[in-house]
Amino acid sequence: MSAAGAPMFEARQVTKRFAGLLALSNVSFRHEAGEILGLIGPNGAGKTTLINLISGTLEPTSGALFFQGRPLQGLPPYRRAHLGIGRTFQIMKPFPGLSVLDNVTAGALFGRRPEREMGKARDAAAHWLEFVGLGDKLEQPADALGGPDRKRLELAKALALQPQLLLLDEVMAGLNAVEIDEVVALIRRIRDGGTTILVIEHVVKAIRQLSDRLLVLQYGELIAEGTAEEVLEDPKVIEAYLGRRRH
């Protein structure tokens, strides 16, 4: 149960260091329920590090993370999944040796509202695979899928967890224009179904279409926040994407 007035997610002065490398520096923001929040920035800006901190595969060096008003510190990834945080991975890793259906069934068995019966879990998995457009490939080996279908499988695995907050890490990378439009429509359907979404993406057209608000990271610092129109016209953001050196 979320605390009264609390956002879906909040980061407060979050910093992450890896030995001598400062990956994130004092990052603070709120993510409201029902919002699609875009996260952009050059390669190495700290975007995936932030998702790893939210999902629990990393812990912050300092600062605090809150989900529905509840502190996340010390909770392992599976506990965060049970609370309602799901994610995709930039480097797609289907469970080897399992079918497409069995890959997603695993999520249905261990998510926020886990199915206790294998038959019901498989039915739920089949539903999400149909939802993402893989309904005709249920019995195929997951590791035999091509790149675009692997991305759809990643999405189905995350959706089977029944997340309240879904973290998408470059689910459109490497797709063609038609495939990108399909995924944009899919993400909107997910949000319309009641899921709050944080999406990392380099495809500017897609992020402009999708995002209610945008965050921009550069060198681990939050350099801009606002509507897509405001952020994408910000000189600091344009400079970051052109790769110029800071003065």
* DSSP secondary structure, 179-208, as one string: HHHHHHHHHHHHHHTT-EEEEE-S-HHHHH
Domains of the chain plus CATH, in order, are: 1-84+164-247 (3.40.50.300), 94-162 (no CATH)
Whose CA is closest to 101, among 127, 75, 70, 71?
A: 127
Per-residue pLDDT of 166-177, as tens digits, reads: 999 999 988 889
24's tokens: 């994130």
Q: How confident is the model at residue 138 (pLDDT cuts 50, 70, 90)?
A: very high
pLDDT of 242 above 70: no
Q: CA-CA distance, 205 to 219, in Å (whole number)?
A: 23
Per-residue pLDDT of 194-210, as tens digits, reads: 999 999 998 888 999 99
Is residue 226 a contact partner of residue 29, using CB atoms and an 8 Å limit? no
| Per-residue model confidence (pLDDT) at position 130 | 97
Decide the pairing of beta strands 196-200 and 36-40: parallel
1's tokens: 């149960």
Q: CA-CA distance, 90 to 100, in Å (whole number)?
A: 18
CA dihedral 174, 108, 106, 76 (to 10 degrees): 90
Buried b (16+ CB within 10 A) or exposed e, 16-29: beeeeeebbbebeb
pTM for the whole thing? 0.91
4's tokens: 């009264």
Q: CA-CA distance, 161 to 106, in Å (whole number)?
A: 9
Whose CA is closest to 204, among 222, 191, 216, 195?
A: 216
